[in-house]
Structure 1
Amino acid sequence: MRTGKHGLTAAAVTVVCAVTLLAAPGTAFAAPAPTLGATSPTSPAPPAPPAPSATAAPARDLEAVRKELESLYRAAATATDEYNAAEEKARKQSAEIAELAKKTARGQERLDRLRDRAGAAARAHYRTGGLPDEAKLMLSKDPEEFLDAGGRVMQGQRATKGLLGELARAQQDLETYAADAAARGRKLEANRKEKATAREKVEKRVAAAEKLESELEKEERERLAQLERQAAREAQAAWLRSGILGELRGKATERGRKAVEYATAQIGKPYVWGAAGPSSFDCSGLTSQAWAAAGQGIPRTSQEQWRQLPRVDVEDMRPGDLIIYFEDASHVGMYVGDGSVVHAPRPGRTVTMAGAGTMPILGVVRPER
């Protein structure tokens, strides 16, 4: 069948439109699907799929880091208390051993004097020839004089007997001193080993905490500091919401005021575990030295402060009282009034003021009896 003029014209228009469309810029068409199992040697290889973009490392859980650091530093504080306790025992035992050495020297001098007196008595007895009293009476020209001399001899014999008894007691004292010194020496050596073990614990905990902190980027450290401040604010706010501040009306005594003045004067000095001033402190080193400056000696460690000092209700505390923190009594601060304490927090920090409720309170003790 022939194609008419009208049909030719329509076909031409269709071709022109198709060519125009193909030439239009920005027009996209899907590539034809390849025939399964067939490739064309003249066709370019299909583009490789794009490499997956590198994903950023997951953000560090800084709250978990904060809690881990808190745990490490608390463990270090507990070990510091162990170290300080062993150090205090060793110091006292060294002083006791030195006192025993003085007693031993004095006892030896006394024993030497007694031996000299005993020797003199023995020589005097030898000079009399050791004759029996009956013979002496018969040979005596004056029996009355002999009897008088006999009374003196009896007195001398009693004195000699007393001298020998004193000599034996002096010898026994020396033996007791020597045994006591040996026992205390063994305890001293044991305490030195305890101190070395505690030192190792502290150093390991502190090194682990410092390593963890050193791995943080600057921004992470700043954010971590913010989290620590936020946690402290929340804890203090919760403590204050209990209404406790309104119940605290106790006033400092003269000694309490002096202790507070000493403690607050140390603000800015570095925390160093085992230190008790004057240039650095740990928590109990600060409180014990503050009360020593006020004329009141108290135990060296926070745990012994908790065990030995009189306890008072939180509602009754006054400036100068000590607040003991955590279940193991591993931290202590001094209450200064207005809901605040001064304390030496941990390694890497300095003596500072903080809210009294920023840490879990175990109880309050009063150095003044």
Structure 2
Amino acid sequence: MNRVRLAIAAGLAAAILATSGIVAQADPAAVEKAREELARIHQEASAIDQQLIEAHERVQLAEAKLKTLTADLQVQEAKVATLADQMGDVATLQMQQDSISVTAQLLASGSSDNFLSGLATYQSELERSNAGVQQLQLDQAKLNTLREDAAATEAALQKDVAAKTELAKSYDAKEVAAQRVYDRLSAEERERLARIEEERQRAAEEAQRQAEARAAAAAGTSRSRDTAAASSSAAASSSAPAAETAVSSGPASSRAQGAVNAALAKVGSRYVWGTSGPSTFDCSGLTSYAYRQVGITLSRSSRAQYSGAGYRVPLSDIKPGDLVFYYSPVSHVAMYIGNGRIVHAANPRTGVNTAGLHSMPITGVRRVVG
């Protein structure tokens, strides 16, 4: 919505110049209705966006699988064709031998040694032939399975490609609907809407800063108590072996800050569905890219990150580098950068930018490292 906010500011300035200081009254009911509609549209668009990202990921996986299956099919088809040719030669030889009694041929060999030797050779060839037939049957069955798998993968791929197209249309429709809501507001009503949103975010950010300050103070008090208790214990049992000290979280915090720096370096980059850098991103693509720069691999969708990245932490304990998830069910992810702010790949209109932590309804927070 940043583009719209810029338009609001520009429209307001134009209105002031045009009216020479005459300001019309904004309709509070109209503004509130618009705010509710925009919040609903934004959430619906975010859900569609997430479905689009997941469909894109399925398409990529299906394309890679189909490529592998196609290569395996070519190898298996060549193998079956070669084995079939070999078995054809064996069958021809057997037909030729069957035209005259094999036993009669062997009896006419002139000696018992020749007879036994010939019989052993014939039995060996017969066994080899039977084994070849069995192998051909197995290879043909594998070939059929590969063909069925390839056909199913192709069908799923086409289905997801069609889904991507429809989801993109739905997303664009939501963007058009949001713009219509703004278009029906006067310049004064747009100004009031922007002011309400700014005040709401300022209040939420201030509350968040106070919560973080309280958490930091509580942590400092707890460390002081632990230090005092440890000193008392050490004085009481100086002859006892020293207890193992806790490992510092410094390196982990450094990695989290490294991820924050990587994400902030991409502010201004374009939002493109299904991409995770280095120049374009979707929401989960940005967070996965940022942590990839510090050697940590994350899943490629916000829902998967919410269910499997790191561990959950309370909002009151949020730290830079934590992943913040929005809406229910989860359909958007951002990275906390401190001071009540996030960095995220917002949408195709505004790309990668920073915003208030509470700019959208928060579902949960996960700490990847630290």
Paired residues for 1:250-269 under 5 Å: 251=250, 252=252, 256-269=256-269
- What corresponds to 2:197 in structure 1? 228
Q: Distance in 2 between matches of 1:148 and 1:338?
A: 92
Q: Percent identity?
A: 31
1:102 corresponding residue in structure 2 = 71
Does residue 70 of structure 1 match 2:39?
Answer: yes
Asked if 1:88 is matched to 2:57, the reply is yes
Partners of 2:71 and 2:106 lie apart in 1 by 50
The reply to whether residue 301 of structure 1 matches residue 301 of structure 2 is yes
SS in 2 for 1:211: helix
**Paired position in structure 1 for 2:288:** 288
State the alpha-carbon separation in 2 of the partners of residues 341 and 113 from structure 1.
61
- The one-letter amino acid of 2:179's match is E
User: For 1:59, which of 20, 26, 48 is the aligned residue?
Assistant: 26
Aligned-partner SS, 1:336: strand
Answer whether contact 2:320 2:338 (CA < 8 A) is retained. Answer: yes
The separation in 2 between residues aligned to 1:90 and 1:321, in whole angstroms, is 29
- Counterpart of 1:101, as a letter, is T
Which residue in 1 is equivalent to 2:124? Answer: 155
Structure 1 residues 270, 110: CA separation in 2 closer, same or farther (over 3 Å shift)? closer
Larger relative contact order (Cα-Cα within 8 Å, sequence gap ≥ 6): 2
Q: Which residue of 1 aligns with 2:14?
A: none
2:357 aligned partner: 356
1:140 lines up with 2:109 in the alignment: yes
1:130 & 1:325 partners in 2: Cα distance?
Answer: 81
Structure 1 residues 132 and 261: CA distance shift in structure 2, 3 A: farther
CA distance in 2, matches of 1:165, 1:366: 56
Name the TM-score, length of structure 1 as normaliser: 0.73
C-alpha distance after superposition, 1:200-247 (max 9, x if no partner): 221111111122224445554444333222111112223344446527
In structure 2, distance between residues paired with 1:199 and 1:283: 16
Asked which structure has the greater CA Rg, the reply is: 1
- 1:267: how far off? 1.1
Letter of the structure 2 residue corresponding to residue 261 of structure 1: N
Q: Which residue of the partner structure matches residue 26 of structure 1?
A: none
Taking the aligned partners of 2:130 and 2:319, their CA distance within structure 1 comes to: 64
SS at match of 2:281: coil
In the alignment, the residues of structure 1 paired with residue 157 and residue 171 of structure 2 have an alpha-carbon distance, to the nearest angstrom, of: 21
TM-superposed deviation, 1:341: 2.5
CA apart distance, 1:105: 0.9
- Specify every segment of 5 or more residues in structure 1 that has no aligned partner in the other structure, as ranges: 1-55
Separation of aligned partners in 2, 1:69 and 1:293: 35
2:124 counterpart letter in structure 1: Q
Q: Note the aligned Cα RMSD (angstroms).
A: 3.1
Question: SS of the counterpart of 2:27?
Answer: coil
Q: Which of 138, 143, 147 pairs up with 1:169?
A: 138
Deviation at 1:66, TM superposition (A): 2.9
Give the counterpart letter for 1:306 in structure 2. Y
Q: Which has the higher helix share?
A: 2
Kindly provide the CA deviation profile for residues 236-277 of structure 1, in whole angstroms up to 9, marking residues without a partner as x: 223344446527896546654543332111112344566544
Q: How many residues align?
A: 314
- 2:69 aligned partner, one-letter code: L
* Deviations 1:50-78, CA, capped at 9 Å, x for gaps: xxxxxx97623334433322221221111
The residue that corresponds to 2:331 in the other structure is 330
Q: Which runs of 5+ in 2 are unaligned?
A: 1-22, 220-247
